[in-house]
């Protein structure tokens, strides 16, 4: 009987502990102060999933950046190739223009002499009393229109014009001779030597109205192309250099409208202008 108060106290204590466990969750007494605490595994597993997703997204973005970087490098390399090509073309034209300086002086002398000869012929027309004596026109009568296979020729007043398409002579936009130019120029040179061995001949360069790339004008290009034809006729075909003069017309004398590609192609040309008067030796 003496132990009854003590047993009652123990029962009350156990009942309080049980109620505490039920209030804490009803699934067990995890808050029991007499038990060791257990690690919470579930929150750690839940937090690992966002980290893995973030890592995957970063990897994907890095791959996309690498792909974009490769594309940019490829585009940059292509742009550099185009710039190098343009620089080579500009350098070639500048060299041709530089080399043509001295030759232009010689051609200018030949042109002045040809013009002097023409003036002398015109000055020979005099008036004596009521009679008019004109210069001998036998040279004009001998200046006949010739036919050259694959080349257009036409009479233009007192001169004969031989039209050479620039697209068959030069690489586009340059004075660089292409392979198809040599047989054309060889045929023309043979006909000039045969039919006009003493006549003054102008070499006119013509372009269309399309702007040339920076640093080179249409007149510079037409001059370089005319100089190249002069070199081919005199150096390769050995026609007398004093027989020719150079004229750079650029886009100033179109044969057709530049509104169409066909018209532009017709306007890109070299014209050999054969005059009726002879050149001086």
pLDDT band at 214 (very low <50, low <70, confident <90, very high): low
pLDDT at 84: 83
pLDDT at 83: 84
pTM comes to 0.54
Q: Is the Cβ–Cβ distance between 250 and 123 less than 8 Å?
A: no
Residue 124 has pLDDT above 70, yes or no: no
Q: Give all domains of the chain, ordered by start, each with its CATH number.
A: 102-278 (3.30.1330.60)
Q: Give dist(CA 210, CA 258) in Å, integer.
A: 8
**Range in 43-47, 83-87, 104-108 with the lowest mean pLDDT:** 43-47
**Range in 84-98, 129-143, 219-233, 261-275 with the lowest mean pLDDT:** 129-143
Indicate the average pLDDT of the chain: 78
The 10s digit of each residue's pLDDT in 21-64 is 445 444 444 455 555 555 555 555 556 678 888 888 888 888 88
Most confident of 65-74, 132-141, 217-226: 217-226
Q: Is the Cβ–Cβ distance between 89 and 224 less than 8 Å?
A: no
Most confident of 108-122, 158-172, 200-214: 158-172
Residue with tokens 């198809």: 180
Q: How many CB atoms lie within 10 A of CB 132?
A: 9
Radius of gyration of the chain (CA): 47
Q: Is the Cβ–Cβ distance between 205 and 222 less than 8 Å?
A: yes
pLDDT at 126: 39
pLDDT at 225: 96
pLDDT at 176: 95
């Amino acid at each position: 009987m003496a132990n009854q108060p003590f047993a009652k106290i123990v029962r009350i204590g156990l009942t309080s502990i049980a109620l505490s466990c039920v209030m804490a969750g009803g699934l067990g007494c995890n808050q029991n102060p007499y038990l060791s605490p257990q690690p919470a595994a579930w929150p750690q597993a839940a937090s690992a999933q966002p980290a893995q997703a973030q890592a995957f997204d970063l990897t994907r973005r890095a791959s996309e950046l690498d792909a974009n970087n490769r594309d940019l490098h490829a585009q940059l390399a292509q742009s550099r190739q185009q710039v190098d090509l343009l620089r080579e073309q500009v350098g070639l034209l500048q060299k041709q223009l530089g080399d043509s300086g001295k030759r232009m002086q010689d051609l200018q002398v030949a042109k002045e002499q040809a013009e002097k000869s023409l003036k002398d012929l015109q000055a020979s027309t005099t008036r004596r009393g009521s009679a008019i004596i004109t210069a001998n026109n036998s040279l004009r009568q001998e200046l006949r229109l010739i036919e050259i296979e694959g080349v257009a020729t036409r009479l233009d007043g007192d001169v004969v014009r031989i039209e050479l398409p620039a697209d068959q002579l030069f690489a586009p936009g340059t004075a660089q001779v292409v392979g198809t130019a040599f047989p054309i120029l060889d045929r023309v040179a043979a006909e000039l030597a045969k039919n006009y061995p003493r006549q003054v001949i102008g070499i006119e360069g013509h372009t269309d109205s399309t702007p040339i790339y920076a640093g080179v004008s249409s007149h510079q290009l037409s001059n370089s192309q005319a100089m190249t034809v002069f070199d081919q006729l005199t150096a390769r075909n050995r026609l007398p250099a004093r027989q020719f003069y150079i004229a750079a017309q650029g886009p100033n004398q179109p044969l057709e409208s530049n509104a169409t590609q066909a018209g532009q192609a017709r306007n890109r040309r070299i014209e050999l202008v054969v005059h009726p008067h002879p050149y001086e030796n």
